[in-house]
């Protein structure tokens, strides 16, 4: 944790911040710590988050927004979007360019939420430690529930999936991304199992699964692998 902090703060002052520096930050983000530690890590990374992920060509927010947007047939200007683990707001920023207007964001990191607030995108932003606190929205209130970059080992526990379904209006969409890297395979398999269980309960049906090889530059051999 301390290492990541000193690297990210060095980056703010140092214009020669490189891919390799960012790689070290990302690898520490992928370490399997508890949810509270993870959110603490994002607090320390918040100020540099967007410039660092830009260096990595992090495309997951754009790809997920394009995916859900391509299926959405309702009135975009009226649709309610719940951006779960919204971070600084990259996902909602893309959705706004695609015509969506109403965003509610939740995240565990106050620092990330402060930056999200500055974007002016969100009607409401709430701090919530997913897996521990209940998702702070009423049942069946959102047309789109989207979670990008947060369903992976040590981040958001899989118990949250049912809460995401519950927050979605009948006929609405839940859009999720995860990583296929070796360190995340077990989590991904459990996520797929959870998705299937909800299908069997006829709570939702699968619309599409998109496997993406290059959703960000691989930061290590271990780290290469598809995401969806």
Ligand X SMILES: C[S@@+](CC[C@H](N)C(=O)[O-])C[C@H]1O[C@@H](n2cnc3c(N)ncnc32)[C@H](O)[C@@H]1O
Question: Does position 212 bind ligand X by CB under 6 A?
Answer: no
- Residue with smaller CB distance to ligand X, 121 or 150: 150
Question: Does position 148 bind ligand X by CB under 6 A?
Answer: yes
For residue 146, the SS3 value is: strand
How far apart are the two ends of the chain, measured CA to CA in Å?
27
Question: Does position 56 bind ligand X by CB under 6 A?
Answer: no
**Core vs surface per residue 149-160: b (16+ CB within 10 A) or e:** bbbbbbbbeeeb
CA distance 4 to 202: 43
Other C-beta atoms closer than 10 Å to the C-beta of 112 total 25
Question: Does position 131 bind ligand X by CB under 6 A?
Answer: yes
* Segment contacting ligand X by CB under 6 A, of 13-21, 146-154, 199-207, 213-221: 146-154
Phi, psi dihedral angles at 41 (to 5 degrees)? -60, -45
* Segment contacting ligand X by CB under 6 A, of 96-104, 126-134, 135-143, 183-191: 126-134
- Residue with smaller CB distance to ligand X, 82 or 130: 130
Question: Does position 103 bind ligand X by CB under 6 A?
Answer: no
Question: Does position 23 bind ligand X by CB under 6 A?
Answer: no
CA distance 95 to 105: 13
Task: Give which of 118, 103, 115, 112 is closest to 130, Cα–Cα.
Answer: 112
- Residue with smaller CB distance to ligand X, 78 or 217: 217
Q: At what angle do helices 90-97 and 60-71 cross, to 10 degrees?
A: 40
Per-residue x/- track, 62-91, ligand X (CB under 6 A): -----------------------xxx--xx
Q: At what angle do helices 35-55 and 2-13 cross, to 10 degrees?
A: 30
On whether the CB atoms of residues 217 and 201 are closer than 8 A, the answer is no
CA distance 92 to 90: 6
- Residue with smaller CB distance to ligand X, 44 or 168: 44
Among 26, 60, 115, 145, binds ligand X (CB under 6 A): 60
- Residue with smaller CB distance to ligand X, 39 or 164: 39
Among 81, 130, 144, 151, binds ligand X (CB under 6 A): 130
- Contacts with ligand X by CB under 6 A lie at 35, 38-39, 42, 60-61, 85-87, 90-91, 107-109, 112, 129-131, 148-150, 155-156
């Amino acid at each position: 944790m301390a290492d990541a902090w000193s690297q990210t703060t060095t980056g703010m002052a140092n214009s020669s911040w490189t891919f390799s520096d960012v790689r070290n930050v990302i690898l520490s983000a992928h370490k399997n710590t508890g949810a509270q530690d993870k959110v603490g890590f994002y607090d320390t990374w918040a100020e540099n988050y967007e410039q660092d992920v830009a260096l990595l060509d992090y495309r997951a927010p754009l790809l997920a927004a394009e995916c859900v947007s391509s299926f959405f047939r309702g009135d975009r200007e009226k649709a309610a979007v719940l951006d779960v683990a919204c971070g600084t707001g990259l996902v909602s920023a893309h959705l706004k360019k695609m015509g969506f207007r109403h965003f509610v964001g939740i995240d565990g990191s106050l620092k990330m939420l402060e930056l999200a607030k500055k974007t002016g995108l969100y009607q409401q932003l709430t701090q919530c430690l997913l897996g521990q606190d209940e998702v702070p929205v009423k049942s069946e209130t959102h047309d789109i529930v989207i979670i990008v970059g947060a369903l992976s080992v040590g981040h958001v526990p899989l118990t949250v999936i049912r809460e995401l379904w519950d927050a979605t209006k009948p006929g609405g969409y839940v859009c999720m991304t995860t990583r296929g890297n070796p360190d995340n395979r077990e989590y991904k398999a459990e996520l797929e199992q959870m998705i299937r269980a909800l299908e069997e309960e006829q709570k939702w049906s699968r619309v599409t699964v998109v496997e993406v090889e290059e959703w960000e530059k691989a930061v290590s051999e271990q780290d290469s692998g598809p995401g969806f």
